[in-house]
Structure 1
Amino acid sequence: MKARWDIFCSVVDNYGDIGVTWRLARQLAAEHACAVRLWVDDLRAFERMCPEVDVQLDQQWQEGVDVRHWSQDWAPTPAADVVIAAFACQLPHDYMEAMAGCEHSPLWMNLDYLSAEEWVVGCHGLPSVKFKGVQKYFFFPGFRPGTGGLLREAGLIERRQAFQRDLQGRQQFLQGLGVFPAKGARLMSLFAYENAGLASWLDVLAADGQATHLLVPEGRILGDVQRWLGVEALAAGDIHLRGTLTVQVLAFVRQEQYDRLLWCCDFNAVRGEDSFVRGQWAGRPLLWHIYRQDEDIHLDKLDAFLALYTQALSAPAKAALIALWQAWNTDSDMASSWKILLEHWPELTVHAEKWCLEQALQADLATALVQFYENWI
């Protein structure tokens, strides 16, 4: 009999929470034969990830997942065998009562935010609070052994490598998006939050001796791009040329297409959590725009990841990468750090693939969750 899983997602902003939970729900259903209900409180945000979703329906099936609208008018619902509160969201009180009323208590887990900090290993899998005898557990994704790993579908790395070897396939994919980079141009993607340092980066790209074709999916960074270009508005399909820099705005695409977009690019600027992980699976040099938190505690998380990611780099390449990431995440001038980074491009490219393959040696997040449940029962 299939284990029944309930995943609760409260959409805060930026699509990262729904992006992670939608990937997880699909993988649990497709690869582990789990019966998954995905509870989402904002179906319009979910629609960006899954255009087939009907935002008017309270219940529907999408790609093997039972998608439910998590509304304020909560109807009595039996609790599942496994309950995941994504990113510490608060479950409906009536549902928690239903968990407490089960003959056999469900496994209740808080799927926490991704972090490379050392303390995560010590907290992963530990019990948290109780509700009327129902125990909640911490479950931390992570990069280190002893954590829950990263979301990675079966065969993902092999599919990515095959796609990157297929020049014609990559060209056809890009052409389907209306992208026709000039021969020899550096292809880059930019998906980020607002950033005052962007103008200095675009300035240096426009003055570079090598052409760059910059793909900018619709998102919060568009306002900064628009100001730098000096145009009144930007929309999907717009293309602007400044010096040796071509800026092209792309429509918001579904997750599978975004993966392929990252695989096509030579360098990817990513943000938050979901695109950050997918950028690593692309095996290409990347730049992470971490979600800003009060009192700059996000910079501790940034430094923790950089300490792990750069361990195998030469001292000059390590310094160059760290300088670029820190400039980007403090809204600082990007010009000098980008120029220095280019000096180490071959090493950083090799390193990105090596890091990807090393991370892929660990169990993926969905498999780790299933194993945790099986050990628990």
Structure 2
Amino acid sequence: MRWDIFCKVIDNHGDAGVCWRLAAALSGEGETVRLWIDDPSALAWMAPEGCEGVSVVAWTAATAEIQATNAPAPDVLIEAFGCDPAPEIVAMFALHAPRNGSTHRWINLEYLSAEPYVERLHGLPSPVFRAPGAGLTKHFFYPGFTRATGGLLREPELIARRERFDRGAWLASQGIPWQGERLVSLFCYEPPALEALLSQFERADRPTRLLVTAGRAAAALPPGPAQRGALSISWLPHVPQPEFDHLLWTCDLNFVRGEDSLVRAIWAGAPFIWQIYPQDDDAHHTKLNALMDWMNAAPSLRGFHHLWNGMARDRLPDLNPTTLESWGSSALAARACLLEQDDLLTRLQRFVAQKS
């Protein structure tokens, strides 16, 4: 089938990351995909080699008009995170809709959350009353952590590749010096507790190498030398998605942010701390606590998340081996639970077929 995925890059490339992974996953199943994205610049480093079966379209009014005139209509229309697809493509989609609705679906792919409402709203229809899609029906598709949701993106053989991974070889291939010190990745916004974390690493008995991702994480780091007491810092360039996964597989502790990297941290199976995207009404606090509830997070893990996200003010607990071992057990248990469930692509394809 032909799938059109529409994506608007709101901030920090997370929307593009999710949509590209979905497009590539669909292509891997033999589907034909057009990824409409209003700012495709991040794909130059996120997916520099592209993907066979995926066409990237710079989403403008002009390109939408050209595509609507010269390209076939999609069988499945996906609007990521309520971005409102190009009206020209919606009109073409509506015009070619079979009378019985067979293999013709409009999906609103929503944001990830562990909150209870996800199970209630997943799969619900949303009739369209305004042109150009008047008379059609969207369906909400919510990623999530339970069998009653849309699941999480997970490539075939991902865990097998994770188990075969050689972190020493990967570090050498990236030119990152490593002499057995603790490895920590930093992918964040501007967490209030960042300086306290760096200070703890600097004064720790065990050496730590901090692998800092490009962009806001690097900008948030206070200026200073690469060697700061027991802390060594390596600054990384922007890397393709597979290399970002390898970064998470490499580290003993991962600091991640947003949606896509949270999912990848879960699949990595290592201890992680999630910085959730902040919202003005503090709705992200509820969303974070819902994830902690689903994970049955230990008080130390929940407390560190609250400090990292500015929900509490206190001294950071010591990240000693015992603490990290406990957090690692939580991460592995969460991953094991999810591996017993179908992945998002399997559920999405089933959902499209079942609605035929």
TM-score (norm 2): 0.92
Q: Which residue of 1 aligns with 2:56?
A: 67
Query: What is the alpha-carbon distance in structure 2 between the residues aligned to residue 258 and residue 94 of structure 1?
Result: 36
Instruction: Sort the Cα spacing of 1:255 and 1:126 in 2 relative to 1 into closer, same or farther, 3 A.
Output: same
Match of 1:129 among 112, 121, 127: 127
- Given residue 192 of structure 2, which amino acid in structure 1 is its aligned partner? A
User: Secondary structure at 2:317's aligned position in 1?
Assistant: helix
Q: 1:191 aligns with which of 187, 191, 196?
A: 187
Tell me the amino acid that sits aligned with residue 266 of structure 2: Q
Query: Is the 1:124–1:147 contact (alpha carbons within 8 Å) kept by the matching residues of 2?
Result: yes
Displacement of 1:226 after TM fit?
Answer: 3.2
Q: CA deviation at 1:223?
A: 2.3
1:195-206 equivalences in 2 (<5 Å): 195-206=191-202
**What secondary structure does 1:324 align onto?**
helix
Moved over 3 A (4+): 331-334, 340-343
Q: Return the alpha-carbon distance in structure 2 between the equivalents of residues 181 and 332 of structure 1.
A: 34
CA drift of 1:351 comes to 2.6
CA positional deviation for 1:177: 1.2
Question: In the alignment, is the contact (CA less than 8 A) between 2:9 and 2:16 conserved in 1?
Answer: yes
Deviation of the 1:290 alpha carbon: 0.4
SS of match in other structure, 2:146: coil
User: 5 Å matches for 1:333-372?
Assistant: 336-339=315-318, 343-372=322-351
| One-letter code aligned to 2:278 | R
Does 2:97 align with 1:99?
no
Q: C-alpha distance in 1, partners of 2:326/2:214?
A: 31
Which stretch shifts more, 349-358 or 270-279? Answer: 349-358
> Per the alignment, do residues 320 and 342 of structure 1 end up closer, same or farther by CA in structure 2, a change over 3 Å counting?
farther
> 1: CA distance between counterparts of 2:282 and 2:320?
25
Deviation of the 1:374 alpha carbon: 0.8
- Alignment partner for residue 321 of structure 1, among 275, 279, 301? 301
Q: 1:217-232 alignment to 2 at 5 Å? A: 217-227=213-223, 229=224
- Shift, 1:206, TM fit: 0.6
Deviation string, structure 1 residues 291-325 (Cα, Å, up to 9, x no partner): 0112111111001001111x2x6xxxx11001100
The one-letter code of the counterpart of 2:86 is: P
Matches within 5 A, 1:227-306: 227=223, 229=224, 240-306=226-292
Q: RMSD across aligned C-alpha pairs, in angstroms?
A: 1.7
| Structure 1 residue 342, shift from structure 2 partner | 5.1
Query: Kindly tell me: are residues 340 and 51 of structure 1, through their superposed partners in 2, closer, same or farther at Cα, counting changes over 3 Å?
Result: closer
Displacement of 1:44 in angstroms is: 1.0
> Within 1, Cα distance between the matches of 2:220 and 2:267?
27
Question: Offset of 1:7 from its aligned partner?
Answer: 0.6
Once residues 340 and 253 of structure 1 are traced to their aligned partners in structure 2, the CA distance between those partners, rounded to angstroms, is: 27
The one-letter amino acid of 1:154's match is P
Structure 1 unaligned blocks of 5 or more: 54-61, 164-168, 232-239
Q: Which moved more, 1:193-202 or 1:17-26?
A: 193-202
1:148 to 147, 150, 169: 150
1:80 corresponds to: 74
Which one is further off, 196-205 or 68-77?
68-77
Secondary structure of the equivalent of 1:344?
helix
Picking from 207, 210, 230, the partner of 1:211 is 207
Write the mapping of 1:160-175 to structure 2, written as runs, cut at 5 A. Answer: 160-163=162-165, 169-175=166-172
Q: Deviations over 1:131-177 (max 9, x none)?
A: 311100100000012100000001101110221xxxxx321211111
1: CA distance, partners of 2:44 / 2:317: 36
- Once structures 1 and 2 are overlaid, which stretch shifts more, 75-84 or 148-157? 75-84
Residue 194 of structure 2 aligns with an amino acid whose one-letter code is L
Which moved further from structure 2: 199-208 or 65-74? Answer: 65-74
Residue 207 and residue 331 in structure 1: after superposition, are their counterparts in 2 closer, same or farther (change >3 A)?
Answer: farther
- The residue that corresponds to 1:330 in the other structure is 310
**1:25 counterpart SS class:** helix
Aligned residues: 343
Match of 1:235 in 2: none
Q: Which amino acid aligns with 2:339?
A: A
Please state how far the C-alpha of 1:47 moved relative to its aligned partner.
Answer: 1.6
Partners of 1:197 and 1:332 within 8 A in 2 = no
Structure 2 vs 1, CA of residues 206 and 333 (structure 1 numbering), >3 Å: closer, same or farther? Answer: farther
SS of residue matched to 2:318:
helix
Q: Which amino acid aligns with 2:159?
A: I
Say whether 1:39 aligns with 2:33.
no
Deviation at 1:98, TM superposition (A): 1.6
- The TM-score, its normalising length taken from structure 1, stands at 0.87
Corresponding residue for residue 25 of structure 1 = 23
Distance in 1 separating the partners of 2:214 and 2:312 = 23
d(CA) in 2 for partners of 1:364, 1:82: 19
Q: Which amino acid aligns with 2:294?
A: L
Structure 1: how far apart are the matches of 2:320 and 2:230?
18
